[in-house]
């Protein structure tokens, strides 16, 4: 504006002098609205106050603002518009107008929808007239400049014809970029073997082009692909960090300039090739770079990121050649050729961009080149730093501790060459800090992390608030503090890291090249705090940061894989909180993309395998899709293979594999999966001794797997070990640890299982106490509150069975109802809540015989059966429970349909519980009970025989000292007694006496069922006496059984 309106120049100069930050964009704490106020509105108003402005005598000064809709900082856009409106409201006659070209997004439209603002929608206007005008001008110019076109027009008349022009305008479709590229394509004078050579003959070809530009780019590039060094030259132009002249491109690649020109001269339709060697080669449009950097679009023209490695090596070779020509001399940038200047500035940038595609042998070559250059100039800190970076990259690739140590040593040497007050000392402090951080993270050496933090703090002090690169030490210090937090869990480190990353992000607005780095690091720090404190706001903000960072990272950017990974992990975490399946689906999608970017032998491939496996496992558990679980196991197996000892993350892959195998076991009940899961978790635990921060995870997961094996094998040693592991995990998770509730829950479940085995009430009381504490840590809307409610209800119900304290049963029903409300259909665990509520109602029915409880229990069990259709592994349980409840209703109503349905249900349950299923004996017994009831009602002898057969098989599964063996003896005795009454088979009667005797011996006098057993035995003995007139008992037991016989015989 100062050039166009000179009267404003002194006022603009004064504003910049008063605030130098105004002239830099972006500048911390300087927004666009402020720049407009100080550099446009104020100077123009001040100039107008002095008198008429000559340059604006006939028209106002026009400012065009394009792309407001692309700005991420919506608040800043709003401030800019509000400032404009306020200015024009106060100064309506100032000779200034603002023309905004933008999509009318809501945040823009809401502010511009006011009187005084004129708006128009370009959708309402056809751009064909503008394209026609453009073509008229360029074709008229072509007639003047192009002799071929001029000769054609002289002989044939107007070209293109009006009809051809209309067809061309329609094909162009309103895109000026495409119109320009099509015109260049037609006018290109280069002949090709397979393409027409004149503009007129190229017109039909242009009309067949895809208006998306990709086909135009592909056709144009194809003209030179047969030439030497074609792909190397094109890839270089696409990947250069700064444009270079043709001679510099040739020098950088080690080829001749004419070879570069020979390739580019055919590509002038899409690449600007200057007429002189000192001007840089540029792209006609930035979309060409996007095309070349996207493999799916460019195909065999793709500029692979591996070419960065080639550029790295050539940069180092250029530097070495220069050093050899002038050994021992410090060569300033002004003394270098453009290629040599580029090599000095950008060699390490190419290392960063290509670090995931470099081979160890290529790093060896780069190290060799750096060492040779250092021999010629030993005291050059930039060369020392370059060697340190390459050595550190080799360490990253190979895990070499020797390389890590050398990188640290080299960085120390470079720092010593830059003592205070050297202007670049802060750079060397940062470099040494980063090298120590890398070594500390690799070796778990806390001393390295502490020193790294100290160095980054010193670097930050050397870059005060006004320093243009203050954001770099802010960022590095934040990363180092986060790394230390992972080992010490000192929340102060994490809070400071978040503060530092926020401060680093402020001076990196779009289009700052490091903005994505700051977004990713801030998101990572917020994610870490979410893991500690569980605040959903932190998680949402982290996801937002990762999304924005991802938008700034093109495909094959070296940081894209890590950002995809971070976003996927955060989305899966949010799914675990909200159960929004869309988050999980997106997590799987981004993890798949990250894995594609990390082919073997990418050092982070194992991380992507683990993360994708975890996300698929979560979906498999949610949707019961076994294919997801199978794929997760396969991915985790590959990760374990890639993380052989002494890989620091091997324990994580082993743990994840164990989790996936455990999940498949829950689905298929294949004992081999459970055994392998236990083995994997044991190996992980061995690799996580104290004070490993993930030890509690392995303790917990191994404990859960051992508890599951106990459920299957009833081996008490497994359960006791599980309890011990869960107690240790709980100690490692004091408040406010985010996983404390899980340890409370799992220890409670294990103690409940122990109570089921030993009936020691103290174990059950402790389980209830633990579940109450877990519930307190899971207030609404915690997604796992329903799980704690459910487990607490089961434990209270069990205590009621022991103590018959009705308060426990009422509490159980209450918490089960609350859990059910939190698990509406299609919640994956709704069937569990329905079953457990049904169990509690059934228990109350048995106590109070309230028919409403029985009816509701049956209703709940029916819904469970509907939700657990085959192949659900837990279908047998609701089938059994519904059968038992229907049998009870039959006893109440004598509706034979209930009994028949109960028998059918118990048969299905029995089929689903083959040996060695731990619950087979219950199905045998319950089906026997149902058939016994049916026999009593119908006198169908086949039912009685089958019931006896089932009771016999159940008894075989109840060896001493099983607590249910006396009941099973009694059941078989009753059924045989009934058959004896029908058949009078003496063998049945004698077996009845034997069974009743055994049951009586196993029931202590205090047991509530003891009183019935003497009556049963006396009846059988009396029958035997009457049948044989002989008691037929051994002499040792004669006095006892004579007493029983006479005590319970009827008096005559």
The mean predicted confidence, pLDDT, of the chain is 90
Instruction: Please determine, for residue 563, whether its predicted confidence score (pLDDT) is greater than 50.
Output: yes
The CA distances from residue 636 to 97, 613, 659, in Å, are 62, 6, 10
Tens of pLDDT, residue by residue over 221-272, are: 998 999 999 999 999 999 999 999 999 999 999 999 999 999 998 888 788 8
User: pLDDT > 90: what percent of the chain?
Assistant: 62
| pLDDT at 28 (0 to 100) | 47
| pLDDT at 578 (0 to 100) | 86
Taking phi over 0 as left and psi of -120 to 50 as alpha, with beta for the rest, 29 belongs to left
Instruction: Please determine, for residue 1043, whether its predicted confidence score (pLDDT) is greater than 70.
Output: no
In whole angstroms, what is the distance from residue 889 CA to residue 853 CA? Answer: 11
Tens of pLDDT, residue by residue over 908-927, are: 999 999 998 889 999 999 99
Among 246, 365, 359, 373, smallest CA distance to 319 is for 373
Among 748, 741, 672, 750, smallest CA distance to 708 is for 750
Instruction: Please determine, for residue 1051, whether its predicted confidence score (pLDDT) is greater than 50.
Output: no
Q: Does domain 230-303 have CATH number 3.30.160?
A: no
| pLDDT at 1046 (0 to 100) | 52
pLDDT band at 457 (very low <50, low <70, confident <90, very high): very high
Span 945-956, average pLDDT: 96
The b/e string for 824-844 (b: 16+ C-beta within 10 A; e otherwise) is: eeebeebbbbbbbbbbbbbbb
| pLDDT at 35 (0 to 100) | 86
The residue with greater pLDDT, 55 or 552, is 552
Span 400-407, average pLDDT: 95
716, 674 Cβ separation under 8 angstroms: no
Query: Which pTM does this prediction carry?
Result: 0.66
Helices 986-1002/965-983 angle, 10° precision: 160
> Ranked by mean pLDDT, which of 287-301, 449-463, 544-558 comes out on top?
449-463
pLDDT band at 205 (very low <50, low <70, confident <90, very high): confident
The b/e string for 74-106 (b: 16+ C-beta within 10 A; e otherwise) is: eeebebbbebbeebbeeeeebbbebebebeeee
Instruction: Please determine, for residue 1049, whether its predicted confidence score (pLDDT) is greater than 50.
Output: no
Instruction: Please determine, for residue 94, whether its predicted confidence score (pLDDT) is greater than 60.
Output: yes
Place of tokens 């144009």: 220
**Tokens coding 812:** 């159980």
Span 42-68, average pLDDT: 83
Instruction: Please determine, for residue 988, whether its predicted confidence score (pLDDT) is greater than 90.
Output: yes
The CATH class given to the 875-957 domain equals mainly alpha
Tens of pLDDT, residue by residue over 860-912, are: 999 999 999 887 888 999 999 999 999 999 998 999 999 999 999 999 999 99
In whole angstroms, what is the distance from residue 525 CA to residue 501 CA? Answer: 8
pLDDT band at 198 (very low <50, low <70, confident <90, very high): confident
Instruction: Please determine, for residue 173, whether its predicted confidence score (pLDDT) is greater than 80.
Output: no
In whole angstroms, what is the distance from residue 391 CA to residue 378 CA? Answer: 17
| pLDDT at 1052 (0 to 100) | 38
How many helical (H) and strand (E) elements, i.e. helices and strands, does the chain have? 49, 4
| pLDDT at 242 (0 to 100) | 93
Alpha helices in 506-625 (DSSP H): 515-533, 536-551, 560-578, 581-596, 605-623
Span 494-522, average pLDDT: 94
pLDDT band at 347 (very low <50, low <70, confident <90, very high): very high
Tens of pLDDT, residue by residue over 796-825, are: 999 999 999 999 999 999 999 999 999 999
| pLDDT at 455 (0 to 100) | 98
Q: Which of 8-17, 728-737, 756-765, 844-853 has the lowest mean pLDDT?
A: 8-17
Span 77-84, average pLDDT: 87
The residue with greater pLDDT, 74 or 1047, is 74
């Amino acid at each position: 504006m100062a050039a166009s309106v000179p009267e404003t120049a002194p006022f603009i100069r004064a504003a910049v002098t008063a605030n130098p930050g105004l002239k830099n964009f972006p500048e911390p704490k300087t927004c666009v609205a402020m720049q407009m106020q100080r550099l446009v509105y104020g100077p123009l108003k001040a100039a107008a106050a002095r008198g008429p402005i000559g340059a604006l005598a006939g028209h106002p000064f026009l400012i065009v603002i394009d792309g407001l809709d692309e700005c991420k900082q919506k608040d800043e856009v709003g401030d800019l518009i509000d400032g404009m409106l306020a200015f024009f409201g106060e100064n309506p006659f100032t000779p200034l107008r603002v023309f905004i070209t933008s999509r009318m997004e809501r945040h823009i439209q809401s502010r511009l929808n006011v009187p005084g603002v004129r708006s128009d929608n370009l959708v309402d206007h056809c751009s064909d007239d503008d394209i026609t005008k453009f073509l008229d001008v360029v074709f008229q110019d072509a007639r003047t400049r192009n002799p071929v076109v001029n000769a054609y027009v002289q002989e044939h008349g107007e070209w293109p014809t009006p009809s051809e022009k209309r067809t061309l305008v329609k094909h162009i479709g309103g895109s000026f970029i495409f119109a320009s590229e099509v015109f260049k394509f037609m006018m290109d004078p280069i002949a090709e073997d397979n393409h027409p050579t004149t503009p007129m003959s190229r017109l039909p070809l242009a009309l067949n082009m895809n208006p998306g530009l990709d086909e135009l780019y592909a056709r144009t590039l194809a003209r030179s692909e047969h030439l030497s060094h074609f792909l190397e030259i094109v890839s270089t132009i696409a990947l250069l960090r700064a444009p270079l002249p043709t001679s510099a491109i040739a020098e950088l690649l080690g080829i001749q300039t004419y070879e570069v020109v020979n390739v580019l001269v055919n590509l002038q339709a899409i690449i600007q090739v200057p007429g002189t060697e000192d001007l840089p080669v540029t792209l006609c449009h930035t979309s060409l770079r996007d095309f070349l950097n996207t493999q799916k679009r460019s195909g065999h023209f793709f500029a692979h990121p591996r070419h960065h490695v080639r550029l790295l090596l050539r940069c180092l070779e250029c530097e070495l050649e220069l050093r050899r020509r002038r050994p021992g001399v410090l060569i300033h940038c002004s003394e270098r050729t453009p290629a040599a200047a580029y090599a000095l500035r950008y060699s390490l940038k190419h290392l960063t961009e290509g670090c995931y595609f470099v081979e160890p042998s290529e790093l060896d070559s780069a190290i060799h080149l750096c060492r040779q250059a250092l021999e010629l100039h030993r005291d050059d800190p930039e060369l020392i730093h370059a060697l340190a970076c390459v050595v550190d990259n080799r360490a990253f690739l190979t895990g070499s501790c020797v390389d890590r140590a050398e990188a640290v040593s080299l960085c120390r040497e470079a720092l010593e060459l830059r003592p205070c007050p050297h202007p670049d000392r802060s750079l060397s402090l940062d470099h040494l800090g980063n090298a120590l951080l890398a070594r500390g993270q690799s070796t778990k050496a806390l001393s390295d992390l502490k020193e790294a933090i100290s160095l980054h703090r010193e670097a930050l002090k050397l870059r005060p608030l006004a320093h243009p690169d203050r954001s770099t030490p802010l960022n590095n210090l934040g990363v180092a503090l986060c790394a230390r937090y992972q080992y010490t869990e000192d929340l102060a480190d994490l809070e400071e890291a978040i503060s530092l990353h926020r401060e680093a992000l402020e001076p990196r607005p779009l289009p700052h090249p490091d903005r994505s780095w700051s977004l990713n690091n801030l998101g990572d720090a917020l994610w870490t705090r979410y893991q500690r404190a569980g605040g959903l706001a932190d998680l949402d903000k982290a996801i937002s940061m990762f999304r924005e960072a991802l938008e700034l990272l093109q495909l094959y950017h070296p940081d894209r894989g890590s950002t995809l990974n971070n976003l996927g992990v955060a989305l899966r975490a949010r799914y675990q909180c909200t159960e929004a399946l869309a988050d999980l689906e997106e997590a799987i999608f981004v993890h798949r993309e990250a894995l594609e970017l990390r082919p073997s032998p990418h050092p982070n491939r194992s991380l992507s395998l683990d993360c994708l496996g975890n996300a698929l496992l979560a979906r498999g558990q949610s949707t019961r899709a076994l294919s997801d679980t199978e794929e997760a196991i396969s991915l985790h197996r590959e990760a374990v293979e890639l993380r052989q000892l002494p890989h620091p993350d091997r324990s994580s892959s082993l743990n994840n594999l164990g989790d996936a195998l455990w999940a498949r076991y829950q689905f298929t009940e294949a004992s081999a999966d459970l055994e392998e899961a236990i083995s994997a978790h044991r190996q992980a635990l061995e690799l996580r001794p104290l004070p490993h921060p993930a030890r509690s995870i392995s303790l917990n997961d191994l404990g859960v797997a051992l508890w599951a094996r106990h459920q299957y094998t009833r081996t008490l040693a497994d359960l006791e070990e599980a309890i011990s592991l869960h107690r240790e995990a709980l100690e490692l998770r004091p408040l406010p640890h985010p996983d404390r509730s899980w340890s409370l829950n799992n220890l409670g479940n294990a103690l409940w299982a122990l109570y089921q085995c030993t009936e020691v009430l103290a174990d059950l009381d402790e389980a209830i106490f633990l579940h109450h504490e877990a519930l307190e840590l899971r207030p609404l809307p915690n997604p796992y509150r329903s799980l704690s409610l459910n487990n607490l209800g089961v434990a209270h119900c069990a205590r009621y069975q022991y103590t018959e304290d009705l308060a426990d049963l009422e509490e159980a029903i209450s918490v089960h109802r609350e859990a059910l409300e939190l698990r509406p259909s299609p919640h994956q665990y709704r069937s569990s809540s329905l079953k457990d509520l049904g169990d509690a109602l059934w228990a109350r029915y048995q106590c109070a015989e309230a028919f409403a409880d029985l009816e509701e229990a049956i209703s709940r069990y029916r819904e469970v059966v509907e939700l657990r259709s085959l192949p659900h592994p837990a279908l047998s349980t609701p089938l059994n429970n519904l059968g038992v409840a229907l049998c009870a209703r039959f006893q109440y109503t004598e509706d034979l349909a209930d009994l028949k349905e109960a028998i059918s249900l118990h048969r299905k349950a029995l089929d689903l519980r083959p040996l060695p299923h731990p619950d087979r004996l219950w199905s045998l017994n319950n089906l026997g009970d149902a058939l016994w009831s049916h026999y009593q009602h119908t006198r169908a002898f086949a039912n009685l025989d089958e019931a006896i057969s089932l009771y016999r098989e159940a008894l075989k599964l109840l060896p001493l000292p099983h607590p249910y063996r006396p009941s099973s003896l009694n059941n078989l005795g009753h059924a045989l007694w009934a058959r004896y009454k029908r058949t009078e088979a003496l063998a049945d009667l004698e077996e009845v006496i034997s069974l009743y005797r055994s049951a009586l011996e196993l029931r202590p006098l205090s047991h509530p069922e003891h009183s019935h057993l003497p009556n049963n035995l006396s009846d059988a003995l009396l029958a035997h006496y009457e049948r044989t007139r002989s008691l037929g008992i051994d002499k040792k037991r004669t006095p006892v059984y004579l007493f029983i016989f006479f005590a319970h015989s009827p008096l005559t």
